[in-house]
A and B are shown apart, each in its own frame.
Chain A
Amino acid sequence: MHAQDSLRIRFQLFLGNEPIEWGKKYITSNADTFAINSCKAYFSKFTFTYQNNKIVQIPNSYYLVDFSEPNTTEISLPISTNKAVKAVSFTIGIDSATNTAGLLSGALSPMLGMYWSWQSGYINWKIEGTSPSAKTRKNAFQFHIGGYLPPNLAVITVTFEPQKGINNHVVRVQLDELFNQISLKETNTIMIPGKPAMVLANLFQNCFHYKP
């Protein structure tokens, strides 16, 4: 694939104006001190709307991004040449059909720590860290967000309009938008599908910003 035949998206994890540093102490607008130790997310079903309004979904576009491994944070997608991309959309997480398809491999292998063993289903995204506000063992907070059965289908779509004429794009995941909206004293352990997971899924969606 030639470089000009692909569109690349780099995901960057931010708090405030800086890239996240693992283990560093941050403070939310609710005055919770916290540190983040890991963040992983599935991004899938990348879809381009071309200028001529043709919509093309990239087949098998399932990616697991581990923000602590920089080589996983850039996704390269094939585009048809001579056609400008008007909009890009993708989903955060794994759709229902894929969740019930049984044993899959590659990025969708159930052995990557992003699959619940006790109840079938992918973890769409995960954020783990610590906060003295969380009265849990070792002050840990754990968000393992997923769910493929309505009404708790925790798959969220993000759409952006890429700047014309360039192939390298940046999507910033601004975690303030999530952590400033919750109290880590009350919300610190969500590891099953359900209403609380849906709330967090929607907050996570607000974190995604295209950076021209």
Chain B
Amino acid sequence: MPNGWPAPAYNFTNNPLTEEGILLGQTLFYDPILSRDSTISCASCHLQATGFAHVDHDLSHGIDNRIGTRNAASIMNLAWSKTFFWDGSINHLDVLPLAPIEHKDEMDLPFSEAVKKIRRDNKYRPLYANAFGTIGISGERTLKALSQYMLTLVSANAKYDAVMAKKDSFTIVEQKGYLLFKQHCSSCHTEPLFTNGNFENNGLPIDTTLNDMGRMRVSTLETDRLKFKVPTLRNIQFTYPYMHDGRFATLTEVLKHYNTGIYNSNTLSDKLKTPMQLSDNQRVEIVAFLKTLTDTEFLLNKKYGFIGK
């Protein structure tokens, strides 16, 4: 647990992490067995080296080359999230894998069928027994193991963290960017997780080819129209493209959006109603600061990666 972070939202007493449980979860995460035709694994859309997001695709790419309706989210620091997905439609990490596994554009397999496929694969019998102490492959164990692995994906070792721990220091440009960030961004992208976990409308005009209403789809409240969950900005340098629909390819475009592209509507956050009036230099400074959130140890750590057969 990183120093100075708030208490996690995930209740570990119901699913204590063990080395064997994590190993099982990691094996499942990289195994296309969880998809209908055994072609797509969780890792197909969530690649470690890019913060477990799907780069180069604005919308996610799944089975039979079908295109989903949202940009694949990055996966990190999940123990601190109360809700998941851009609209918070998933309320607990342990039930999350049901969504991609059963989604017809993603892995397209009823979860009970996925469990049957796992039962038929001999390699899993000992992995489950080691992870849970007794022989048996069940849906519940499958979900718990996936959570265990994903909960180990903690990114807290960026340059920013070293600076906060007084083990490193920002360059002048980064320092200026940090101050501007605290002024304009941190009310939503709150340190140290770089998200306050809330749903906000950050002024993106609606993409009429998708008509994604965000949180409103879940809550049905008009006041939630076009609100999306504030995403973390850790490792943001590598989790492009950006926003729920992947509409911006670069951080420069994102900063341009916040500076001059804010689209006013009823639910626009008050925090964005006054134009930021950032100069070209200031926008560059903020981007420089955002790059200090890159945690190369996390992105390249072999222990999170694919486990060979």
A residues at B contact (CB < 8 Å):
99-103, 105, 109-111, 115, 117-121, 149, 151-152, 193-195
CB nearest neighbor in A for B82: A100
Q: Which of A105, A120, A195 contacts B140 (CB 8 A)?
A: A105
A102 with B92: CB separation less than 8 A: yes
Chain A residues in 8 Å Cβ range of B218: 119, 149
B95 with A120: CB separation less than 8 A: yes
B residues at A contact (CB < 8 Å):
11, 14-15, 89-95, 98-99, 101-103, 111-112, 115, 139-140, 143-144, 218-221
| Measured CA separation A111–B137 after assembly (Å) | 14
Chain A residues in 8 Å Cβ range of B15: 103
With contacts A103-B95, A115-B95, A193-B220 known, is A109 near B140, CB below 8 A?
Answer: yes
Chain A residues in 8 Å Cβ range of B95: 102-103, 110, 115, 117, 120
| Measured CA separation A149–B224 after assembly (Å) | 13
CB nearest neighbor in A for B89: A119
A100 with B102: CB separation less than 8 A: no
A102 with B111: CB separation less than 8 A: no
Q: Which of A103, A110, A151, A195 contacts B144 (CB 8 A)?
A: A103
Chain A residues in 8 Å Cβ range of B219: 149
B111 with A111: CB separation less than 8 A: yes
CB nearest neighbor in B for A195: B220
Closest Cβ–Cβ distance, residue B193 to chain A (whole Å): 20
Sample of 8 further A-B pairs with CB below 8 A, known A103-B95, A118-B89: A103-B15, A103-B92, A103-B143, A109-B139, A120-B91, A121-B91, A149-B219, A194-B220
Chain A residues in 8 Å Cβ range of B115: 111
With contacts A117-B98, A118-B99 known, is A99 near B89, CB below 8 A?
Answer: no
A115 with B98: CB separation less than 8 A: yes
B102 with A117: CB separation less than 8 A: yes
| Measured CA separation A121–B140 after assembly (Å) | 16
| Measured CA separation A119–B143 after assembly (Å) | 16
Interface of A is mostly: loop
Chain B residues in 8 Å Cβ range of A152: 220
Closest Cβ–Cβ distance, residue B222 to chain A (whole Å): 11
Chain A residues in 8 Å Cβ range of B94: 102-103
A100 with B92: CB separation less than 8 A: yes
Chain B residues in 8 Å Cβ range of A110: 95, 98, 111, 139
Instruction: Count A/B pairs, Cβ under 8 Å.
Output: 61
Closest Cβ–Cβ distance, residue A193 to chain B (whole Å): 7
| Measured CA separation A117–B101 after assembly (Å) | 9
| Measured CA separation A105–B94 after assembly (Å) | 12
Closest Cβ–Cβ distance, residue A116 to chain B (whole Å): 9
Chain A residues in 8 Å Cβ range of B89: 118-120
CB nearest neighbor in B for A152: B220
B139 with A111: CB separation less than 8 A: yes
Name the residue in B15, B93, B112, B219 with the highest tally of chain A Cβ atoms < 10 Å from its Cβ. B219
Chain B residues in 8 Å Cβ range of A119: 89-90, 99, 218
A101 with B92: CB separation less than 8 A: yes
With contacts A99-B91, A102-B14, A111-B139 known, is A118 near B220, CB below 8 A?
Answer: no
CB nearest neighbor in A for B85: A119
| Measured CA separation A111–B112 after assembly (Å) | 7
| Measured CA separation A102–B103 after assembly (Å) | 20
A117 with B111: CB separation less than 8 A: yes
CB nearest neighbor in A for B144: A103
Chain A residues in 8 Å Cβ range of B90: 119-120
Chain B residues in 8 Å Cβ range of A111: 111-112, 115, 139-140
Chain B residues in 8 Å Cβ range of A117: 95, 98-99, 101-103, 111
Closest Cβ–Cβ distance, residue A18 to chain B (whole Å): 34
Closest Cβ–Cβ distance, residue A52 to chain B (whole Å): 37
With contacts A103-B144, A109-B140 known, is A120 near B220, CB below 8 A?
Answer: no
Chain B residues in 8 Å Cβ range of A109: 139-140
Name the residue in A110, A149, A152, A193 with the highest tally of chain B Cβ atoms < 10 Å from its Cβ. A110
| Measured CA separation A193–B219 after assembly (Å) | 8
| Measured CA separation A194–B224 after assembly (Å) | 14
| Measured CA separation A111–B219 after assembly (Å) | 24
12 intermolecular pairs with C-beta atoms under 8 Å apart: A101-B92, A102-B14, A102-B95, A103-B92, A103-B140, A103-B143, A103-B144, A105-B140, A110-B139, A151-B221, A193-B220, A194-B220
Chain A residues in 8 Å Cβ range of B91: 99-100, 120-121
Chain A residues in 8 Å Cβ range of B14: 102-103
Chain B residues in 8 Å Cβ range of A151: 220-221
Chain B residues in 8 Å Cβ range of A121: 91
